[in-house]
Structure formats: C-alpha cells, structure tokens
Structure 1
Amino acid sequence: CYFSGEPVSVADLNAETDRWPRFVPAALDAGFTSVHAVPMRAAGIVLGALGLFGTRPGALNDADRLVGQTLAHIASVAILQECPPTPSTVMQQLRKALTSRVHVEQAKGFLRESLDVS
C-alpha cells in the first residue's frame, strides 16, 4: 500500500500464512482475521498507510472503504499540521522517489531481458 499507493485488502488472513509468516500468527492470536490498508496521501504523495483490522473474515464493503479513506485523509491532514513539509524535505523526498523509481525500472528491464518477455 505504501509503495504502490493503492489500497490492499486481505479478506482472510488464514490464507496468507506463507506471505506473512510472522505477522499472520500474531494477528490471529490478537483476534484479527482480516486486514486492510488504505494509503495516506497529501498532494499526491503517499505519507503512509492506515491499517484497518477486522475480527471477521471478509472484504470491506463500499461504506467501510469510504470510511477508511476518509480516516486516512484526516490522519494525513493531522500529520501535516503537526509536521508541515519544508522545501528541503520535499526536495529530499522527491529525489528519493525518483531514485527508487529508477531502480524499479532497471529491475523491470532486467527481468524482461532475462525472461524474454515484454
């Protein structure tokens, strides 16, 4: 969610033990069976992710998804009120984002060449 900027939803954690071998048992022990993450954005930049944990398996319905997105937006505004960005921090973040994007594109090119796919 944080890297893609897209919401992530896991309707049943029991099906994800291979994906998250340490997280899933801890979440299940705490009584959670589903988990959802909503990106926290400001000006198109992902600041973080808001985690929503469910005690019943299942996907978020439209109303719950809207509430999650609204809460993520409110949290983003609160964070920016407490720690407003400065020109130097914004430039630093943009450089980091561009650098990481270059690495992703290089890796994609390597995989395309290695696997002979387009």
Structure 2
Amino acid sequence: MLMMFITSCSKSNYQPGNSNSYPKDVNVEYRITAISGVNSGDVLYANASGGNTSVDNVSLPYSVKFKRTVKQLDNLVLGYSKIGSGEVKVEILVNDQVVETKSFSSTSYVTGTIVYLFQ
C-alpha cells in the first residue's frame, strides 16, 4: 500500500500561462529522479481529470506529462515511496516551469509528497 504524507504545500506567486483567469489549460509534468540508493518506487499523482493515479514499482527516473484544465484552488500532487534507504528528488512542472520541488531521503523508508496550488 502506498503511504503518503503531505509534507509540503506551497503558495507560490507563479501563475502558469499568460492569464490569471480561470479555468485555464496547462501542461503538467511530474518528475522523480534518484539521487542515491534507489532505482524504483511507488508513485501517486493527481492526473489529467483531477483524480489520483497510483503506479507501483516504476523505474527511476520517472516522468509523466499531460494537459489539464484547472480552476483556481485546484492542486497538483506528486508522491513517492520506497522501502529501503536512499534519496529522491520530486518535481512538479507547469507549462515547462518548475513550480514545486523537494528531495526526500531516509535510511529505512523513503517517502514524501509535494503539492502545488493554483491561486
């Protein structure tokens, strides 16, 4: 079972696209990169329809891209977990710009979640 804890929530001033009006279409990319010790893991992310997608035991690096129509206060969520020691970097990109990034490490269970909120 993929266990995720929200460990980061940002209220960035960056607004993807040329307009602050909603709804709007954006290009989303999620990236997970191994920094050390891990070469796979479980991934959970908010998908193109706003639902959740869970992918087990993916090889790293991992990336997924899609288009999504968002409204103000919609969010993007990306989580990673793996039993074992190591470090990973997780990133959320909107319209080819990094809007949220964080590294997670552990000696027994590498896990973490990042969130981007459209304002």
Q: TM-score, normalised by structure 1?
A: 0.26
Q: Which has the higher strand share?
A: 2
Structure 2 length normalisation: TM-score?
0.26
Greater Rg over alpha carbons, structure: 1
Q: Which has the higher contact order (CA 8 A, sep 6+)?
A: 2
